[in-house]
Amino acid sequence: MAGVTAIQGVDDTLKQLSTDAVAALTPRPRITVGPLDVDATGLRLNWFLYRIAPNTAYRNMEPPQTGTVTARGRPPLALELHYLLTAFPAAATGNADGDQEQFAHAGLAAVMRALHGNGIVPAADPAVPNTAKPLVEPLRITMEPLDLDGLTKLWTAASEPVRLSVGYLVSLVLIDSPDQHVPGPPVRERHLAVVPSMGPRLTTVAPPRGSAATTFTIGVEGLTAGAVFTLAPEEGDPAGGGTGWAATNVAPVGTNAVGLRFDRPALRPGPRRLDVVATENGLRTGADSIGLTLVPTVTGPTASAAPGDTVQLDTAHAAPGVEVFLRGVPLPAGNVIFQSGTRVDIVVPAGSAPGLADLALRANRTAGPVFRGLTIT
Q: Are 268 and 241 in contact (CB under 8 A)?
A: no
Average pLDDT over residues 266-279: 94
Q: Is the pLDDT of residue 357 over 90?
A: yes
Assign 69 a pLDDT band (cuts: 50, 70, 90). low
Average pLDDT over residues 280-298: 90
Domains of the chain: 6-175 (3.30.2000), 201-294 (2.60.40.10), 297-376 (2.60.40.10)
- Distance separating alpha carbons of residues 111 and 128, to the nearest angstrom: 16
Assign 51 a pLDDT band (cuts: 50, 70, 90). very high
CB atoms within 10 A of CB 266: 17
Assign 288 a pLDDT band (cuts: 50, 70, 90). very high
Assign 64 a pLDDT band (cuts: 50, 70, 90). low
pLDDT at 75: 77
Greater model confidence, 354 or 181: 354
Amino acid identity of residue 344, one-letter, is: V
pLDDT in tens, 108-131: 999 999 999 999 999 999 999 999
- Top-ranked range on mean pLDDT: pick from 41-45, 197-201, 219-223, 316-320: 316-320
Q: 89: cis peptide before it, omega within 30°?
A: no
Would you call 342 exposed, middle or buried from its count of C-beta atoms within 10 A (0-12, 13-18, 19+)? middle
pLDDT in tens, 322-340: 999 999 999 999 999 999 9
Model-level pTM greater than 0.85?
Answer: no
Assign 66 a pLDDT band (cuts: 50, 70, 90). low
